[in-house]
Amino acid sequence: MNSNTITTQDGTQIFYKDWGDGPVVTFSHGWPLNADAWDGQMHFLARNGFRVIAHDRRGHGRSSQSSSNNDMNGYADDLAQLFEALDLRKATMVGHSTGGGEVARYIARHGSKRVARAVLIGAVPPVMLKSAANPEGLPIEVFDGLRAGVASDRSQFYKDFAIPFFGANRPGAKVSQGVLDQFWLWAMQCGQKNAYECIKAFSETDFTEDLKKIDVPTLLMHGEDDQIVPIHDSAKKSAKLIANVKTLYYPGAPHGLTATLQDKVNADLLAFLRA
């Protein structure tokens, strides 16, 4: 085993980074990015006395491009194997977007014996897809459009997708070219098959029962102007399903608020960790 990878039961290499010392905070990234998307939070918390660990989801970033198990159970099981390999205890699990679903599925599937708290940021639960049971959701055509983009000119698709992701299409938005460029760079490191299959995982997985099983203090953070995971069909519903929950909603903030509101998000995260 390399110092910065683990090999899962199906032979997939999962890359992770592990910085600092102190109470453990783990980070699960959004689609189609990798652990580097958390650098702004990880560096800050490492400087403030925490041990921070983030992995690249299978098929993303520096992890191997697995042909199978590109679904929420597979992602949660990979995370469980990382927890066991590093013997993590009393961890605060932080997940953004797809990563928020990964955290919920991990706790539902593997329990909270190693977990002290959870933080879901711009997270996809309870379920994104519109259906008779979820009429406020997004229609399947939205996700078919994402699949078509990934399967064709994915490079241009990711450049276009970064704009609503960070709210750069809103009047007065101050989103640097660098922020948009790094989204493209990270997205292009994701395997095409993995990115394609992950769309079904984040859009069609129903986390309703998972959320009910979360038995640790949980913080929901969400931008009120999230154009990717609309707040009314995600955080506002999740807040009613999690037993011990606190909510922080950010007026005008986009999906990528960990970058656009980095200092605010970091301060709020630190306050929750120290509470």
Classify each residue of 100-133 as buried b or exposed e, where b means 16 or more C-beta atoms within 10 Å of its C-beta: bbbbbbbbbebebebbbbbbbbbbbbbbbbbeee
Copy the structure tokens of residue 136.
């406020």
Residue type (1 letter), 192:
Q
Choose, from 28, 63, 64, 97, the residue flagged as catalytic. 97
What's the CA dihedral at 113, 116, 121, 124 to 10 degrees? 20
**DSSP conformational letter for 26:** E
Burial of 3 (0-12, 13-18, 19+ CB in 10 A): exposed
Choose, from 226, 233, 234, 268, the residue flagged as catalytic. 226
Sign of the alpha-carbon torsion through 152, 206, 98, 268:
positive
Q: What share of the chain is helix, strand, coil (3-state, %, to 5)?
A: 45, 15, 40
* CA gap 56, 36 in Å, rounded: 8
Other Cβ atoms less than 10 A from the Cβ of 249: the count is 15
What's the CA dihedral at 236, 239, 245, 251 to 10 degrees? 0
Choose, from 29, 96, 222, 255, the residue flagged as catalytic. 255
- Is 268 part of the annotated catalytic residue set? no
Instruction: Report which of 96, 268, 256 is spatially closest to residue 176, judged by C-alpha positions.
Output: 256
- Is 60 part of the annotated catalytic residue set? no
Residue with tokens 């999690």: 242
- Is 226 part of the annotated catalytic residue set? yes
Enzyme catalytic residues: 97, 226, 255
